[in-house]
A and B are shown apart, each in its own frame.
Chain A
Amino acid sequence: MAEPAAREASAREPGIRAAGEDGAAPSLLRVEQLSKSFSRRSGRETRTVAVLEDVWLSLRPGELLTVIGPSGCGKSTLLGCVAGLLGYDSGTIVVNGRPVEGPGADRAVVFQHASLLPWRTVRRNVEYGLELERRIPRERRPALAAEAIALVGLGGSEDLYPHELSGGMQQRVNLARALATRPELLLMDEPFGALDALTREAMQDELCALTSRTGVATLFITHDIDEALLLGDRVAMMSARPGRIAGMIDVPFDRPRSRDVTEKQEFRELAQLLRHSLRPAATSPGEPPGAAGVTGVGLAGPGRDEDRR
């Protein structure tokens, strides 16, 4: 397996750049050479499964970077490592110059499942992060919570309990809880994946508008190609087993962005390109992806079709 070669090869293709080539802009988040493996015991033998291998990533202030990859490629693990919730074997993660050694008040996570405390009202759930971090004096918390609740459009629902909310509203609380702590880096782990299609689109539109307003740097994990392109300033593609950044796309649409961009020819072509790159190698290796105007990019993915037990 000629792994380094694969990364360099894709770097020379138009459309997709190699990971780690983010120019000289000062980065808010830098992930370098990140590797992580799980050991799994099956019977008598212990098997080590590499989940992330040599992952490079960087995020500029105010940027929204979406990470897309097939399920099980380790994208949620990557987010867990950046959040400080998971440990890693080697490499470095640096946020604003500080190495990540655990959870930190500079980062806030929007979880895949809303994970709200069912015995707390919306207001008290949104205050939860402020309460645990203890940076902000108690009397200032209600104001910050109210601001975050208004930001996600939940004004008027402050006194409802989670079971009284729809799935979309629960995710808004999840988002507000993270925003209330005023993080420098927002980490979103497939937050809209479990929502129905209509709610998901509404939430995407709102996040589009919201990012333009707050300008908080965001790492957004998704497995939805349109979502990755609609929301992201850049899209990082991950390959599976072991997970690595296989390529990077600069999304050429201006902000504030609306759903209209999904109708554009350019958007469809990028989506098509992503789709071909992410699909397990079913098509013949030499065949270029059908997207017109963008030259074929074979993601020479090591470990993409093997290693599947």
Chain B
Amino acid sequence: MIAGPTAPTDPLAAGGAARGPLGRRRVARIRVVSRPERLAIGTVAIVAMLVFWQFAADEHWINPLAASSPSAIWHAAGSLISTGVLGKAVAETAGLFGVGFGFSLLVGLGVGIVVGWNPRVDAAVDPFVSILYAAPRIALTPLITVWVGIGFTAQVVIVFLTAVFPIIINVAAGVRTLDRNCFNVARSFLGTNIDVLRTVALPGAVPSIISGVRQGLAQALIGVVVAEYFVGQNGVGGLIVASGFTLNTANAFVGVFVFAGASLVLTGILKAFAQRADRWRI
């Protein structure tokens, strides 16, 4: 007879208690959670949170005036929509975001490509970009109002300044890191500088460009909020500020959730776009 092992042979899967001279102990093992299970746990956590929030507000464990409650927020959202207040605010905010982020995208891609491709331009521009990227651009808000007043233009400038630098920096970094092997292939086939940019540098920079756009997107949303809080007080940001002043916390929460939702949707769109651009990857 051949004595075969009766215990599970995969030590990673086995886990549990190891017996022997070392005594009983729980040996570490890899923990995985399936996708549906993740989704279920997440949903349960959210629902539990909402139920607890509502219950705590109803029982006055927390001050409903300060903390609001899910049902109050729901009702506030309903009346804000039916009166058209929310629609107008969202339209204003979307316009600001669209114009500000649109400019950042155009300028960020253009400047980023030139900076990443031309070492001399890079040397000249890099100090400015580094300083402005390191500085909290929101600190410039008072100066911007001095320069261009407190209208839509000022708001666009704020959004632009918050969003453009991460895009420039990431795009430039992506274009700069040229694959040397592919560069030599292009050279061996008599490729010109423009050929290399077109066929090697830019396609290779796509992951960096996408991560720059993702960061720019997040920054642009912050810029929108700041612009609407401090310059003009309109749009969803203005709604939140006004609601806060009048202690209408439910309305303020509606505004916050609108921003959260918009951020999720925009990131989702970008993700789908990135997957399309990345279909050649594993």
Contact = CB atoms under 8 A, between A and B. Distances in A.
Partners in one complex: yes
Given A118-B280, A119-B280, A163-B281, A111 B190 contact: no
Contacts of B187: 85, 103
Given A103-B187, A129-B189, A115 B182 contact: yes
A192 interface: no
Interface in A111-126: 111, 113, 115, 117-120
A161 B280 contact: yes
Nearest to A120: B280
Nearest to B181: A115
Contact of A103 (B189, B195, B199, B200): B189
A182 to B, nearest CB: 12
Contact of B189 (A113, A119, A120, A181): A181
Interface in B193-208: 195, 199-200, 203, 206
Given A117-B182, A117-B199, A132-B199, A103 B188 contact: yes
B180 to A, nearest CB: 9
Tell me whether chain B's interface is mostly helix, strand or loop, or mixed. Answer: helix
A163 B186 CA distance: 20
A181 B200 CA distance: 19
Interface in A97-112: 103-105, 107-109, 111
A161 B187 CA distance: 22
A124 B282 CA distance: 18
Contact of B184 (A85, A120, A132): A85
B195 A132 contact: yes
Interface in A61-113: 83-85, 103-105, 107-109, 111, 113
A133 interface: yes
Interface string B171-194: 000000001011011111111000
A128 interface: yes
Nearest to B188: A109
Contacts of B281: 118, 163
B200 A117 contact: yes
Contacts of A129: 188-189
Interface residues of A, number: 26
Contacts of B280: 118-120, 161-163
B19 to A, nearest CB: 42
Given A132-B195, A163-B281, A115 B184 contact: yes
A132 B186 contact: yes
Contacts of A118: 280-281
A111 B188 CA distance: 10
Given A111-B181, A111-B184, A117-B182, A133 B282 contact: no
Contacts of B182: 115, 117
B242 to A, nearest CB: 49
Contacts of A84: 188
Given A103-B190, A104-B190, A119 B185 contact: no
A109 B188 CA distance: 7
A103 B281 CA distance: 31
B199 A85 contact: no
B278 to A, nearest CB: 9
B195 to A, nearest CB: 5
A105 B190 contact: yes
A21 B241 CA distance: 89
Contacts of B188: 83-85, 103, 107-109, 129
B190 A113 contact: no
Most buried by A among B186, B190, B200, B203: B190
B189 A117 contact: no
Nearest to A108: B188
Contacts of B186: 132
B97 to A, nearest CB: 31
Given A105-B190, A133-B190, A128 B203 contact: no
B194 to A, nearest CB: 11
A103 B189 CA distance: 7
A85 B185 CA distance: 10
Nearest to A86: B184
A186 to B, nearest CB: 12
A111 B185 contact: yes
Interface string B247-282: 000000000000000000000000000000000111
A183 B243 CA distance: 74
Nearest to B282: A163
Contacts of B195: 132
Contact of A133 (B185, B189, B200, B206): B189
Most buried by B among A85, A115, A177, A181: A115
Contacts of A107: 188
B181 A132 contact: no
15 contacts: A83-B188, A84-B188, A103-B189, A103-B190, A105-B189, A109-B184, A111-B184, A113-B181, A117-B182, A117-B199, A117-B200, A120-B280, A129-B188, A132-B189, A133-B189
Q: Sorted from nearest, which 9 A-B pairs have the closest CB atoms? A: A115-B181, A132-B189, A129-B189, A132-B191, A119-B280, A109-B188, A161-B280, A119-B203, A115-B185
Interface of B: 179, 181-182, 184-191, 195, 199-200, 203, 206, 280-282
Given A83-B188, A118-B281, A128-B189, 15 more contacts: A85-B184, A103-B188, A105-B189, A108-B188, A109-B184, A109-B188, A111-B181, A113-B181, A115-B184, A117-B203, A128-B185, A131-B199, A132-B191, A132-B199, A133-B189
